[in-house]
Amino acid sequence: MAPLSMPTAVAAASSWGSELLLALESGPSPQPALAAARQRAARALADRPLPSRRQEAWRFTDIAPLLAITPAQLPPATTVPATLPSVTPGVVRLVLDGHGDPLAGGNLPAGIEAIPAADLEALLQETSTDRGEDRGANGASNHAAAAAGSEAPWSGLLAAATAGQILALRVRGAIEPTLELVSDAASAEGVLPLRLLLILEPEARLELLQVHRASAASLTTVLLEARLGAGARLSHGLIAQGGGAAVLLADLAVEQDPGSHYAFTSAVAGWALSRLEPRVLQSGGGATTRLRSLQRVDERQIADQHSQVRFEGPEGELDQLHKVIADGAGRSVFNGAVAVPRAAQRTDAVQLSRSLLLSDRARIDTKPQLEIVADDVKCAHGATVSRLQSEELFYLQSRGIAAANASRLLLRGYCGEVLRELPAAAAIWQPLAMVLAEEAPRP
Amino acid sequence: MIRPEAPVLLEIRDLHASVADQPILHGVNLTIRAGEIHAVMGRNGSGKSTLSKLLAGHPAYTVTGGSVTYRGEDLLALAPELRARRGVFLGFQYPVEIPGVSNLEFLRVATNGRRLEQGAEELDTFAFEDLVRERLAVVQMDPAFLDRSVNEGFSGGEKKRNEILQMALLDPLVAILDETDSGLDIDALRIVAGGVNQLATPDNATLLITHYQRLLDVITPDYVHVMAAGRILRTGGKDLALELEDRGYDWVDAELAALESAPVEVG
């Protein structure tokens, strides 16, 4: 897209949001339990300016690719995209197209149930991101907003304001199969809004794999809210494979009770613009959080991750590793906020950001953001930006491995550190080939 | 073993080289025949490590004069990976750690590259596992190291054993071992040196780069070369190493000074 002059850009930006909301009003009505929540979110969204580089949280992230998307909902998929790999044993797959009920015709694994409409409305009152700014009004706990510090991110609000369907599940006990949630905008153009709510009861265990794919000028916008009760364990993988002009915005708001364990591993590549916002709130401390992410940019792509972890009680743990491969004229942005207020004594938090710069035209912005008030804590962070190490390359060459293969081997090793933590069911999606944009080997 | 009729494997003629425009080698001459074990000794900065890396094709070194012929072929014209596949092996002084790359997979890819060059069949995963387990015995290495990332978190001794394991798998014709004894305790030194001795045959040759005599107590060289200021200053038998041990390197300075006032051909 040709760069717009400033006044035109502003006009285009503000009209993009209102055009989208207008288009939705004339579209199909949302799932009844979601109607009120969606309306609130739409109002809040209308009051917010579109993100721009004048805002600190979007300083390095140009939303031009977003404005190039037609501001109208993606048409319903007539068939499940033929490009999806077949479902592997031990996996229950739900395909999300933003229109139909993903549970229609499918069976949920034992232990997982859809949350009934009446409960859902109450839950959305209580927890939803959609009220964003008016949470102070009724004083209700709003974990998503609290995790954000002051207000829900724009991406989550956008998803809440536009999603007409919500997949809301309650999980009890240890779930055997991996739950796979898949969206594929394929070559369709427009906006695909997705909203997910997961309640893990105390001691529940779930492996969740979220997959988003798109290959044309579409926006996939996702709001996932998850609550982990005491002792619950959620192993959460996200594979996001973009192509062409596709845009992904994902807001992942997770609230952990003490004694719970949350592990999130993401692999993102190929999007014109992607922004992932994992936001974890340890509401009483005492939980463990493990975050692993890998993003690759090439050509003129932008990949942005803004993560937030907040400890509101003592003895919480965080282990975070963010990795980047920046090639072509790609831009990578990482901002990792960790908040350790006075109540969070004996917090143990480690955050590491590692970036690999493969091109002189690529750009990497990485910023840890630790706010530590408690005095008895262990908090470490670090950031490195490097190139493929010439000594490593020479070592491999000196063993008969050609330079190109040696580079590939090193890159695979670099990615493997993150990818091996994806749920086992992720293998069918060939995340390594996706990240390295290689021809996938035949299974 | 010295056999005057044995084929010449490596022939270095008047080799000059520099790193970052700084001349390091000033005319090295060395001929290595099949079956021979050579030791190059010298102080730090004498150019002995440069020589070893240059022979393996390290990109940081630029050859500014002279030639290296390997089995009749211009070695310097070959990319590092081709030198390795044709049978030139460098055991690193500081083996590189490569996180995320499995040692077993790395060894298999490397071995198959060499095998193809030798006209042997590529080994599949199972056949390779059999081979590697057999070769582990050469350096008494724990198979657990195969499942780890290349050299990652290995101790100094484990890294050197891994080097000799690679040598055992790649079956080189000329093995250059750069300070393989450095950082090894006496037990590890015996194991590593024992591996090198097992792998030496009448058909291949070994070039040991070392600082100390102690490696030569366990691997008996046919020739000892003393290197200083980028040249080979003197060549002798194994007794020369003992003499160095006795007298130290001070006499080298005297010879160098004499050399600089009246340059003569050495080698």
Read off the pLDDT of residues B49-59 as tens digits, 9 standing for 90 and up. 999 999 999 99
Coil, strand or helix at B257: helix
Residue B115, domain member (yes or no): no
Coil, strand or helix at B189: helix
Whether A400 sits inside 8 A of B101 (CB atoms) is no
Give the residue from A324, A297, A189, A391 showing the smallest Cα distance to B56: A391
Q: What is the least distance, in Å, from the CA of A291 to any CA of chain B?
A: 18
**To the nearest whole percent, how much of chain B has pLDDT over 70?**
98
Q: Over chain A, what HEC string results?
A: CCCCCHHHHHHHHHHHHHHHHHHHHCCCCCCHHHHHHHHHHHHHHHHCCCCCCCCHHHCCCCCHHHHCCCCCECCCCCCCCCCCCCCCCCEEEEECCCCCCCCCCCCCCCCEEECCHHHHHHHHHHHCHHHHHHHHHHCCCCHHHHHHCCCCCHHHHHHHHHCCCCEEEEECCECCCEEEEEEECCCCCEEEEEEEEEEECCCCEEEEEEEEECCCCEEEEEEEEEEECCCCEEEEEEEEECCCCCEEEEEEEEEECCCCEEEEEEEEECCCEEEEEEEEEECCCCCEEEEEEEEEECCCCEEEEEEEEEECCCCCEEEEEEEEEECCCCEEEEEEEEEECCCCCCCEEEEEEEEEECCCCCEEEEEEEEEECCCCCEEEEEEEEECCCHHHHHHHHCCCCCHHHHHHHHHHHHHHHHHCCCCHHHHHHCHHHHHCCCCCCCC
pTM over 0.95: no
Residue A443 in this model has a pLDDT that exceeds 50: no
- Nearest CB to A400 within list B81, B96, B100: B81
Identify from B54, B55, B83, B101 which residue to disrupt to test chain A contact, counting A C-beta atoms within 10 A and taking the largest count: B101
- Say which CATH number the domain at B230 has: 3.40.50.300
A254 Cβ contact partners less than 8 Å away, ≥ 6 residues apart: A147, A225, A226, A227, A228, A234, A262, A264, A278, A279, A280, A281
Give the residue from A302, A331, A232, A402 showing the smallest Cα distance to B81: A402
**Angle formed by the axes of helices B156-170 and B125-136, to 10°?**
120
Give the Cα separation of A274 and A328 in Å (integer).
Answer: 16
- Nearest CB to A401 within list B59, B81, B90: B81
| pLDDT tens per residue across span A152-204 | 899 999 999 999 999 999 999 999 999 999 999 999 999 999 999 999 999 99
Residue B19, domain member (yes or no): yes
What is the DSSP code string of B99-111?
Answer: EEEEHHHHHHHHH
Query: In which band, very low, low, confident or very high, does the pLDDT at A378 lie, cut at 50, 70 and 90?
Result: very high
Q: What is the pLDDT of residue B219?
A: 95
Whether A399 sits inside 8 A of B106 (CB atoms) is yes
Instruction: Give the mean model confidence (pLDDT) for residues A58-62.
Output: 93
Residue B208 lies in domain: 8-94+173-261
Q: Would you give per-residue pLDDT tens digits along chain B (267 residues)?
A: 899 999 999 999 999 999 999 999 999 999 999 999 999 999 888 999 999 999 999 999 999 999 999 999 999 999 999 999 999 999 999 999 998 888 999 999 999 999 999 999 999 999 999 999 999 999 999 999 999 999 999 999 999 999 999 999 999 999 999 999 888 988 999 999 999 999 999 999 999 999 888 899 999 999 999 999 999 999 999 999 888 888 888 888 788 878 777 655 544
Task: Please tell me the total count of domains within chain B.
Answer: 1
Residue B240 · residue B224 · CB < 8 Å: yes
Per the model's pLDDT, the better-predicted residue between A43 and A152 turns out to be: A43
Whether B98 sits inside 8 A of A396 (CB atoms) is yes
Residue B34, domain member (yes or no): yes
> At which residue do the structure tokens 């040196």 appear?
B193
For chain A, the domains span 11-74+87-435
How far is C-alpha A86 from the chain's CA centre?
A: 24
The one-letter amino acid code at A149 reads G
Tokens of A279: 């936001």
Identify from A325, A399, A436 which residue to disrupt to test chain B contact, counting B C-beta atoms within 10 A and taking the largest count: A399
Q: What is the least distance, in Å, from the CA of B27 to any CA of chain A?
A: 24
Residue A130 in this model has a pLDDT that exceeds 70: no
Q: What is the DSSP letter of B16?
A: E
Q: What is the pLDDT of residue A434?
A: 95
Q: What is the pLDDT of residue B4?
A: 92
Instruction: Give the mean model confidence (pLDDT) for residues A331-353.
Output: 97
Residue A38 in this model has a pLDDT that exceeds 80: yes
Residue B219, domain member (yes or no): yes
Burial of residue A372, with CB atoms counted within 10 A of its CB: 0-12 exposed, 13-18 middle, 19 or more buried: middle
How far is C-alpha A262 from the chain's CA centre?
A: 14
**Angle formed by the axes of helices B125-136 and B103-117, to 10°?**
100
Identify from A391, A393, A395 which residue to disrupt to test chain B contact, counting B C-beta atoms within 10 A and taking the largest count: A395
H helices within B171-249, ranges in order?
186-199, 214-218, 238-247
Instruction: Give the mean model confidence (pLDDT) for residues A364-379.
Output: 94
Whether A400 sits inside 8 A of B84 (CB atoms) is yes
Q: What is the pLDDT of residue B254?
A: 81
Residue B100, domain member (yes or no): no
| pLDDT tens per residue across span A350-370 | 999 999 999 999 999 999 999
Give the Cα separation of B83 and B92 in Å (integer).
Answer: 15
Residue B238, domain member (yes or no): yes
Residue B27, domain member (yes or no): yes
Tokens of A141: 């706990």
Give the Cα separation of A393 and A51 in Å (integer).
Answer: 42
Q: What is the pLDDT of residue A172?
A: 98
Residue A99 · residue A223 · CB < 8 Å: no
Q: What is the interface pTM, i.e. ipTM, of the complex?
A: 0.94
- Please list every residue in chain B whose beta carbon sits closer than 8 Å to the beta carbon of residue A409: 98, 101, 106, 109
Residue B151, domain member (yes or no): no
Element (H, E) at B90: strand B88-91
- Please list every residue in chain B whose beta carbon sits closer than 8 Å to the beta carbon of residue A398: 56-57, 80-81, 83-84, 89-90, 92
Residue A134 in this model has a pLDDT that exceeds 50: no
Mean pLDDT, chain A, integer:
89
Q: What is the least distance, in Å, from the CA of A408 to any CA of chain B?
A: 10
Give the Cα separation of A243 and A271 in Å (integer).
Answer: 5
- Nearest CB to A398 within list B90, B100, B101: B90
Give the Cα separation of A203 and A233 in Å (integer).
Answer: 7
Element (H, E) at B55: helix B48-56
Give the Cα separation of A130 and A68 in Å (integer).
Answer: 25
Q: What is the pLDDT of residue A125?
A: 81
Q: Are strands A273-282 and B205-210 parallel, antiparallel or unpaired?
A: unpaired
Q: Which of A27-31, A137-141, A247-251 has the highest mean pLDDT?
A: A247-251
Identify from A356, A390, A398 which residue to disrupt to test chain B contact, counting B C-beta atoms within 10 A and taking the largest count: A398
Q: What is the pLDDT of residue B243?
A: 87
**To the nearest whole percent, how much of chain A has pLDDT over 90?**
72
Q: What is the pLDDT of residue B253?
A: 79
Residue A225 in this model has a pLDDT that exceeds 50: yes
How far is C-alpha A122 from the chain's CA centre?
A: 25
Q: What is the pLDDT of residue A101?
A: 81
The one-letter amino acid code at B22 reads Q
- Please list every residue in chain A whose beta carbon sits closer than 8 Å to the beta carbon of residue B109: 401, 405, 409
Q: What is the least distance, in Å, from the CA of B260 to any CA of chain A?
A: 35
Whether B84 sits inside 8 A of A417 (CB atoms) is no
